[in-house]
Amino acid sequence: MRTVLRLSAFLYGAALVYSQTVSLSNGIQLTLTANLGQPTGQETLTVDLAPASGDSFYRIFRDQNQVAVFAYELGVSRSGDAQFRITLRPAGNEFAAKFPNADTGKPTPTVATDRSLPLLRSGEHSDIDLFEIPGMGLKVSDSIQISLNDRRPRSGAITFTSLRVAVNQHQVSNPGATVAGRYAMFYIPGRGGYFFSTDAVPGKAFVPAGTVDQNRMQFDLEGDSFDCVSATPIFATLGGAIWVYHDPNYKPAGNWTKGARETSDVFFIAAADTLSWWLP
């Protein structure tokens, strides 16, 4: 499912802005804000977010015909004491192999070379000028803010903190950091990915499989019983129904887990404002 960030659009002065947050089990939360300038309306841009390598992802800007007009790879890694290094990379051969028809078979416009930005601390942000489309009012930039996840429930979000997961009374998790987002998930080696929402999701076979009661989530799915306990409340409210989608074939390719480039098959959790971080 392609991510169209229209619901996250807001006006900042006269500029059109789209914002998106991804929360990951290595304790990092990213907030990306795309400023599109002052569009005339002749061309409409949407913004996609897709995993790339273990510590990076692709930002893809598409027009109203779903053609990629620009893309780049953004890497984020820890550097020293609570500092983070941001690196822009061209969307090259690996991007073309993953998205062969992004620009109708032609090379997608991208940044010219690798570019490292100044080190950031939690809560700081960096702005990146990307591209312009003359005559359309489109002068596009990205603002990237990095913060360490805290343990406070976020309104409207699903929050997992040091989540302990038991399947049929057998614990399968390795408790980690806090993640929070509109959607949440965990991956169990040998079982695939389990994705969670507070309501039905168009186009995906989410089912109301269980309930949340403060910091405990219980659900039954495909003959298995799941008992999940978070160190903090899972919903900002006391509880409610939880909708679940299971993809037994899901593999953690290009999703940040506990280390910058960890490749071992391990349990991990994550959360985001869009499902396209994990699901096509």
Domain contains 238? yes
Tell me: do 83 and 58 sit in the same domain. yes
Tell me: do 115 and 174 sit in the same domain. no
Domain contains 153? no
Listed residues 148, 181, 212: the one ending a domain? 148
Tell me: do 9 and 144 sit in the same domain. yes
Tell me: do 135 and 162 sit in the same domain. no
Rg of the chain on CA atoms, in Å: 19
pLDDT reported for residue 261: 42
Tell me: do 131 and 165 sit in the same domain. no
Whole-angstrom Cα distance, residue 180 to residue 122?
16
Whole-angstrom Cα distance, residue 93 to residue 24?
26
pLDDT reported for residue 83: 80
Tell me: do 144 and 12 sit in the same domain. yes
The partner residues of 86 in beta bridges, in order of sequence, read 76
pLDDT reported for residue 207: 96
Tell me: do 40 and 67 sit in the same domain. yes
Domain containing 84: what range?
5-148
Tell me: do 53 and 133 sit in the same domain. yes
pLDDT reported for residue 149: 65
Positions in the chain short of pLDDT 70? 1-16, 24-27, 53-55, 80-81, 149-156, 253-264
pTM over 0.95: no
pLDDT reported for residue 7: 30
pLDDT reported for residue 266: 81
Number of domains in the chain: 2
Listed residues 118, 148, 178: the one ending a domain? 148
pLDDT reported for residue 13: 38
Tell me: do 47 and 92 sit in the same domain. yes
Domain contains 52? yes
Tell me: do 23 and 126 sit in the same domain. yes
Whole-angstrom Cα distance, residue 275 to residue 243?
13
Categorise residue 78: left if φ over 0, alpha if ψ from -120 to 50, beta otherwise: beta
Tell me: do 27 and 47 sit in the same domain. yes
pLDDT reported for residue 57: 83
Tell me: do 66 and 111 sit in the same domain. yes
Listed residues 116, 148, 180: the one ending a domain? 148
